Amino acid sequence: MSTTVNGVRPALQVTGLTKHFKTAAGIVRAVDDVSFSIGKGEIVGLVGESGSGKSTVGRCVVMLHPPTGGSVVIDGAEISALRRGRLRRLRTGFTMIFQDPATSLNPRMTVRDIVAEPLVIHGMGRSGDHPRRVAELLDLVGLPHSTGTRFPHELSGGQRQRVSIARALIASPSLVVADEPTSALDVSIQASILNLIKDLQRDLGFACLFISHDLAAVEYVADRVLVMYLGRVVEVVASETLNERAAHPYTQALVSAAPVPDPDEQRSRQRITLSGDIPSPLAPPPGCHFHLRCPVAQDVCRERPPALLPGAASGQLVACHLVSPGTVD
Amino acid sequence: MSLLDVRDLTVRFSTKKGPVLAVDGLSYHLEPGEIVSLVGESGCGKSVGIMSLLGLQGPQAEISGSARFDDQELLGASERKLRLVRGKQVACVFQDPMSSLNPVVTVGKQVAEVLRRHRGLSAAKARLRVIDLFERVGIPAPAQRYASYPHEMSGGMRQRVMIAMAIACEPRLLIADEPTTALDVTIQAGILELLKELRDGTGMAVLLVTHDLGVVADIADRVIVMYAGRKVEEAEVRALFNDPQHQYTRRLLEAIPQRGGGRDRRLHGIPGTVPTLRDSPDACTFSERCAIASERCHTARPGFAEAGPGQAVSCWHPGAQTAPAVKGAVR
């Protein structure tokens, strides 16, 4: 996974990323040796359930959390090794869109000021040019210029998320991390925001890490999907083959549990029911993190953690002792 | 006779900014053993349309219409009478089990209390019955779990406790308001399976409020689609998904990403936002966002008309096929 994509330097290269949090109850091992890369102009989806560590990975990538171990390289610069001043200068290159625009936008600032803030903070461009740039961004995200003088509370949830997308893109980043950007929105609004992210990505060419618990949304926007379970990546698969080629027992369970909005199909599907809950990241089980709930676990799964190895489909990687490399199915 | 028969339910709230019409003339019914789902987006009135039946709406709500449960009128009933119905004949499960459970009492004791109060069981008998219920809703090691506090359990297990509490008195109707929305999909699948089993085993009817059409497709027999306080379509579940008649239902189904649908099937959002209503307009409430709205849609409220077997729709142009996103700029 640490190789370049088609010989080109990737937009993001994460190697051996580990993040521990110290709490009163002990050390929470939120992310445990995660490696992946995102090519230039690629959208990679990151899925998993609560407690899988997917949001922590996103936050480590943009250095909102300094990693405990491992490296994060964006556009060739190892940002995880940089001191604050130098890191700050590079921050224009990567950015984040949060789940809830109601809490991630300053309620006392106008939309115009919110969108322009990255330019102000990083001293980009002449301040006289900022209004023109803000207007360009509002056009880009489909908001009328008149929204510029409004405050976040005057806007709908979908409009607010457009504002946070405009803010994220104004400094022309090469990497955007979107953490559940549509989860707080109604379905009719969700579709427009998913389309907006797809279209902007196609037009502007940034790389994107799209974090979501919603498999269907990830399949819709992402080229590849990373599946996480209890701090580790268990599978990487092209999004169009997620349904048919999922090889890890957890991915298969996840795919089978997500309901499809079609009564005939939904009621005739084979479902894999998982017993129990995701274990506590305070004390992850030895071996494969999934073995306690895995319907096919063997002795080896309880003893050794499986490595992430190539699967049968092109580009597929699977971390499972019971899936022999290159011979899925 | 229907188990629940709601007619012309209207709920208004007075707020600082003036009155808000949350539910506008909603009628629906529920038969024993049936799972009916109320679906719609935030603010469509789906939760209010159910909670107001049980007097859970607070004093600022102004409620009119009729709601008969087993031929007893619920609207305007005394608190004493409602208390007899709630818990015993009608039980509720809400979205967030953590805020519905008492954090300083063990979960076993909380469920036992229901049995002691409504069934007059002794403490020892109630305890045995609770352990039995915990087993039935799929809580592992039920005897040990009896003594757990809510914070010691996961979200899925807490929701199972809530369901155990709800079914403790063998209610004839279970009202579930977004019962799986806060849960992960692998846990959700188990809870939906449990609701189906309970229905099949006891003949309990379920009124399920949800925004998730995947959940509806999984579990509902019949579906009521709400928009801006009004019922816009009602249908047997397959008819609703296969042949939606209302433009709003159609557009909602086009807006959800389909698993395996790939990236080439373009989704279509619905332009505009849901209106907040002060009064009931003489118009279709969806007309402002509808791609095929005609003059009449803006000036007259459509009635409710039969559109097929068990399917009814409130639309002046039912079943019209349209190229989506004709009106408004949806990217």
Q: What is the CATH number of the domain that holds B232?
A: 3.40.50.300
**Cβ distance of A261 and B184 shorter than 8 Å:** no
Compare CB distances from B214 to A259, A271, A277 and report the shortest one's residue.
A259
Is the domain of B116 the same as that of B39?
no
* Residues 138-157 of chain B whose Cβ lies under 8 A from any Cβ of chain A: 140, 154-157
**Which of B152, B180, B185 should be substituted to probe chain A, the one whose Cβ sees the most A Cβ atoms within 10 Å?**
B185
Q: Which whole number is the average pLDDT over A6-28? A: 90
Give the pLDDT band of residue B325 (cuts 50, 70, 90).
very low
Q: Which of A181-190, B31-40, B209-218, B292-301 has the lowest mean pLDDT?
A: A181-190
- B156 against B232, higher pLDDT: B232
Residue B77 domain flag: yes
Predicted confidence at residue B139, as pLDDT, reads 87
Question: B331–A199: do the CB atoms touch at under 8 Å?
Answer: yes
Q: Judge if B106 and B158 occupy the same domain.
A: yes
CB-CB under 8 Å, B157 with A142: no
Q: Report yes or no on B286 lying in a domain.
A: no
Chain-chain contact of A254 with B185 (C-beta, under 8 angstroms): yes
Q: What is the mean pLDDT of residues A244-264?
A: 93
Q: Which of A156, A188, A261 sits opposite B269 (nearest CB)?
A: A188
Q: At what angle do helices A130-140 and A111-121 cross, to 10 degrees?
A: 120
A189/B156 CB distance under 8 A: no
**Same domain, yes or no: B144 and B211:** no
Whether A85 and A93 have beta carbons less than 8 Å apart is answered as no
* Domain end among B122, B153, B170: B170
Q: Which residues of B touch A156 (CB under 8 A)?
A: 273
Residues B176 and B260 occupy one common structural domain: yes
Last residue of a domain, one of B266, B288, B315: B266
With CA atoms as reference, the chain B residue closest to A243 would be B260
A192 chain-B contacts, CB cut-off 8 A: 269, 271, 330-331
Looking at the domain assignment, is residue B273 inside a domain?
no
State how far the Cα of A238 lies from the Cα of A242, in Å rounded to an integer.
6
Residues B63, B57 contacting (CB under 8 angstroms): yes
Tokens 């001293």, residue located: A123
The single-letter DSSP state of residue A261 is S
Is it the case that residue A2 has pLDDT exceeding 50? no
Lowest mean pLDDT among A208-222, B107-121, B267-281: B267-281
Chain B residues in contact with A261 (beta carbon < 8 A): 213-214, 216-217, 241, 253, 256, 258
The secondary structure of residue B146, as a DSSP letter, is T
State the residue range of the domain holding B61.
1-89+172-266
Is residue B144 situated within a structural domain? yes
How many beta-carbon pairs under 8 angstroms link A with B?
A: 146
Give me the number of domains chain B comprises.
2
Answer whether B238 sits within 8 Å of A263, measured CB to CB: yes
Rounded to a whole number of angstroms, the distance from the CA of B257 to the nearest CA of chain A is 5
**Domain shared by B130 and B184, yes or no:** no
Residue B261 banded pLDDT, cuts 50, 70, 90? low
Q: Extract the tokens encoding A92.
A: 């224009």
Query: What number is the average pLDDT over the span B293-317?
Result: 94
Same domain, B178 and B84: yes
Question: Within this chain, do residues B69 and B124 fall inside the same structural domain, yes or no?
Answer: no
**Distances from the Cα of B140 to the Cα of B94, B157, B189, angstroms:** 22, 9, 17
| Same domain assignment for residues B144 and B115 | yes
Which of B154, B212, B270 lies nearest to residue A277, judging by beta carbons? B154
- Looking at the structure, tell me whether residues B200 and B246 fall in a common domain: yes
Tokens coding B306: 């039969």
- The band of B330, judged by pLDDT with boundaries at 50, 70 and 90, is very low
Nearest CA to B252 among B274, B281, B280, B222? B274
User: What is the average pLDDT value for chain A, to the nearest integer?
Assistant: 92
Phi first, then psi, for residue A58 (nearest 5°) are: -60, -40
Q: What is the band of B328 on the pLDDT scale with cuts at 50, 70, 90?
A: very low
Res A277: pLDDT:
76
The overall average pLDDT reported for chain B is 89
Chain B CB contacts of A214 below 8 Å: 257
pLDDT of A190 strictly over 70:
yes
* A4 CB-near residues (< 8 Å, 6+ apart): A10, A37
Whether B237 has its CB under 8 Å from any CB of chain A: the answer is yes
Domain assignment present for B142? yes
User: Are residue B138 and residue B185 in the same domain, yes or no?
Assistant: no
Q: Which of B145, B170, B195 is the last residue of a domain?
A: B170
- Find the residue in B nearest to A192 (Cα): B269
Q: Do B258 and A189 touch (CB under 8 A)?
A: no
Examine residue B331 and state whether it is found in any structural domain, yes or no: no
B314 lies in some domain: no
B85 and B181 assigned to the same domain: yes
Amino acid present at B150: P
Please, are residues A169 and A201 in contact by the beta-carbon 8 Å criterion? no
Determine the average pLDDT of the residues in B140-157. 90
Tens-place pLDDT, residues B41-58: 888 999 888 888 888 877
Give me the mean pLDDT over the A163-179 stretch: 97
CA distances from B317 to B238, B247, B269 (A): 21, 8, 20
ipTM associated with this complex: 0.86
Asked if the structure places residue B287 within a domain, the reply is no
Instruction: Report yes or no: B188 at the A interface, CB cutoff 8 Å.
Output: yes
Contacts of A264 in chain B (CB under 8 A): 238, 242
Q: For A261-280, what is each residue's pLDDT tens digit?
A: 999 999 998 888 887 778 88
Q: What global pTM score does this model have?
A: 0.89
Same domain, B158 and B188: no
